[in-house]
């Protein structure tokens, strides 16, 4: 038991570090959240640039893409509208914000936007 305790403490510390929120929030993320606090925000890579996607809380809703300056650069609406070629070229996409009760998916708040 005494040998396991240090290992458990180490694992707990690693978990705490990984769960720490990043409060160095990019301005574009703050602006997108202010524009639509009930939307999911994801970040992707395209030609070594960060691209942000904003998806409203609705079934089959499309995603609007923004560059690092917060300018709209595309639409990925596979169900109802246009799908820009950029949509198929995005890499490494990950959700950085998802509000509670967003299509029964777990909440995500990497930058502490709801704090």
- In tens, the pLDDT along 61-82 reads 899 999 999 999 999 998 887 7
To which residue do tokens 């942000």 refer? 52
Q: Where are the domains of the chain?
A: 22-109
Question: What pLDDT, in 10s, does the model give residues 16-39?
Answer: 444 444 446 789 999 999 999 999
102 vs 95, more confident: 95
pLDDT-derived band of residue 52, with 50, 70 and 90 as boundaries? Answer: very high
Locate the DSSP E strands across 47-111: 49-55, 63-66, 72-76, 91-98, 108-109
- CA-derived radius of gyration, the chain: 17
> Do residues 40 and 59 make contact, with C-beta atoms less than 8 angstroms apart?
no
The H-assigned helical ranges of 36-109 are none
pTM over cut 0.95: no
Give the model's pLDDT for residue 18.
Answer: 47
């Amino acid at each position: 038991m005494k040998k396991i305790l240090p290992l458990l403490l180490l694992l707990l510390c690693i978990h705490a570090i990984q769960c720490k929120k990043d409060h160095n929030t990019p301005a574009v993320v703050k602006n997108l959240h202010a524009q639509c606090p009930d939307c999911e925000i994801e970040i992707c890579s395209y030609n070594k640039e960060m691209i942000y996607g904003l998806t409203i809380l609705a079934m089959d809703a499309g995603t609007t893409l923004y560059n690092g300056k917060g300018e709209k650069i595309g639409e990925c609406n596979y169900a109802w509208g246009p799908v820009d070629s950029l949509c198929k070229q995005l890499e490494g996409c990950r959700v950085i914000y998802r509000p509670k009760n967003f299509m029964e998916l777990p909440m995500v708040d990497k930058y502490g936007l709801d704090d």
